[in-house]
Chains A and B, each alone.
Chain A
């Protein structure tokens, strides 16, 4: 027993000596690199031992559900107070400028409520499936979790992402120009599993979904053969592709959905405007016509410059944005940078992203970071040597349908400036000589 103790002590002693040696060597090495880089012979002060090396840290389960570092306290969802009259019928934005990779931490997922977030009791919650099916059913959360499960990573994007920018630059911030988009791993039951189980009729061309919150939000989702209320067919893609990826999700990024994201159950309609991904999902009814809800006439429709109103604009077309550098993350000195950004397409896979640093006169193909997945954020990157000059930097995504992300001029020419939704145009940032980065628009190209 006492032998073992002295053994352990010796171990600790050795470790301390090793650490001292390491620190000495480490400091010497860092010092030589630093003077080498600066090209000066003046010896730098040795680095101090970090305070955290000389203390005992916090015990386990100090934070039973962990939080980010206190030094990251500015990485937050934010809202724009003047945008909506009421914070319960409002939106908050994801800080894309602070995120890496493709997954949005659940606590930073953008929020959009029509009547505030609610706490739905999972024990009492039921999902009802009825309408044009042989076996109308109600399911408990336990029933749903027992069913064959499906996991996939998808982005969710409010179609109003960028809406403030149609008529000119409004927000010097990528959080506010593009932060109504987030990307998560969802787990739940595939729509097709539930349709089969309930025996949905082949004649059903739509279903609608309804939430258990104060807005009782409802959206119609097309199935093969879907026609609008006037008998006109939806696009081939809308009829035949959207439903294939739909999932009824109870988990997000490995944990149960959070209340902000529809706990305990939500619809996920990948690739489509996120308003369709009904939160607090309690009912799905299979039909042969769209409901044409409040959301589908008054909102989420586009007043085009022919004086008409375009409806069922469901898919979020290919989009991309440079998240570094950006107005929220300025340049910090001359030299090497990696331009980084996110691209996504509601029609499928991102095939490539081109980046320009001269306002779109020339473009270079960026590297796509694996994994590249269906209807999912795709990270791109490209090296950039900044020598203090002014640059107009921009990214242009294209997807496996052949669609190339348009310019703002192309969108304005096609639609006018009153459509609010689906502004997926190429975003331009201006790097100024000061190193500041500003949001700008190119109006003639």
Chain B
């Protein structure tokens, strides 16, 4: 008698739990109201400064290399060097020329320190975006749209991607500029290796084992 009541109770309990689960999912379906506020593009002018690879998002404005040179001297050279060579370990503007860059990669030479605007940047508008939002490093988002054009042009000049005869850097100029590395990029192909789960007799002969070779003299740059 007592036992069967217990059973009944536990049955009821389970039925109740099932109901609760059902209810749970029903409350999930309640419309999400009263959350957030609509926003317009006009409210986002200061926020949405992102520039796509193809130049979409580049603002109005322009600058010259002379203007860029002046900004470089006061706001950039202390870290990136007078000639963009990079000082105290900060990144350089011009890396190895494309031929040397590719050769070191193919021959497994050391190419990590040879990188710069002329061999790792696929699109000029990206450079504008990065400088305008993140440089100078100690005071990001302090450059105007015009100043950003001028200094973007100047870094391109330091990296020997453009000559000093360019008169005006603006949206059209950056959109139409082909970066030296533009055609080097390809999209992920992994998995590119296929190991197997060998469990016994997986290797015959002498293992070539090396320990620590060098200490502290490797600079991975800012990777």
Contacts and interface: CB of A to CB of B under 8 A. Distances in A.
Interface in B50-67: 50-54
B6 interface: no
B143 interface: no
Contacts of A415: 192
Interface in A404-421: 404-407, 410-411, 413-418, 420-421
B211 A404 contact: no
A410 B105 contact: no
A172 interface: yes
Most chain A CB neighbours (cut-off 10 Å) among B89, B123, B198, B219: B198
Interface string B200-223: 111100011111111111111111
Interface string A238-280: 1000000000000000000000000000000000000000000
A197 B188 contact: no
A303 B207 contact: no
A170 interface: yes
A99 interface: no
B126 interface: yes
A285 B201 CA distance: 53
A18 B203 CA distance: 61
B212 A418 contact: no
Interface of chain B: mostly helix, strand, loop or mixed: loop
A285 B158 CA distance: 33
Q: Interface SS of chain A: helix, strand, loop or mixed? A: loop
B88 interface: yes
A299 B209 CA distance: 31
Contact of A440 (B28, B79, B210, B218): B210
B194 A168 contact: no
B137 interface: yes
A94 interface: no
Interface in B81-104: 88-90, 101-104
Contacts of A85: 79, 88-90, 222
Contacts of A114: 134
B23 to A, nearest CB: 15
B103 to A, nearest CB: 7
A174 interface: no
B186 A311 contact: yes
Interface residues of A, number: 108
A382 to B, nearest CB: 14
A146 B123 CA distance: 41
Contacts of A285: 48, 50
A372 B108 CA distance: 38
B90 A86 contact: yes
Given A160-B220, A172-B212, A360-B202, A398 B129 contact: no
Contact of A305 (B108, B187, B221): B108
Interface in B32-83: 32, 35-41, 43-44, 47-48, 50-54, 79
B209 A442 contact: yes
Nearest to B206: A444
Contacts of B1: none
B193 A148 contact: no
A396 interface: yes
A420 B92 CA distance: 18
Interface stretch (A25-33, A67-75, A228-236): A228-236
A301 interface: yes
B218 A164 contact: yes
Contacts of A139: 35-37
A3 interface: no
Given A297-B121, A304-B105, A363-B202, A229 B53 contact: yes
Given A114-B134, A216-B133, A404-B196, A298 B188 contact: no
Interface stretch (A38-46, A57-65, A287-295): A287-295
B209 A440 contact: yes
Contact of A130 (B44, B51, B200): B44
Query: B79, B202, B214 — which one has the most chain A CB atoms within 10 A of its CB?
Result: B202
B110 interface: yes
A440 B104 CA distance: 25
A358 to B, nearest CB: 9
Contacts of B212: 168-170, 172, 438-439
Interface stretch (A9-17, A102-110, A312-320): A312-320
6 contacts: A84-B89, A138-B36, A197-B35, A216-B140, A289-B52, A403-B191
Listed from nearest, the 3 A-B pairs whose CB atoms lie closest are A85-B89, A307-B102, A292-B53
Given A147-B35, A310-B187, 12 more contacts: A115-B134, A160-B220, A215-B140, A285-B48, A310-B185, A360-B202, A363-B202, A405-B195, A415-B192, A416-B108, A418-B110, A441-B209
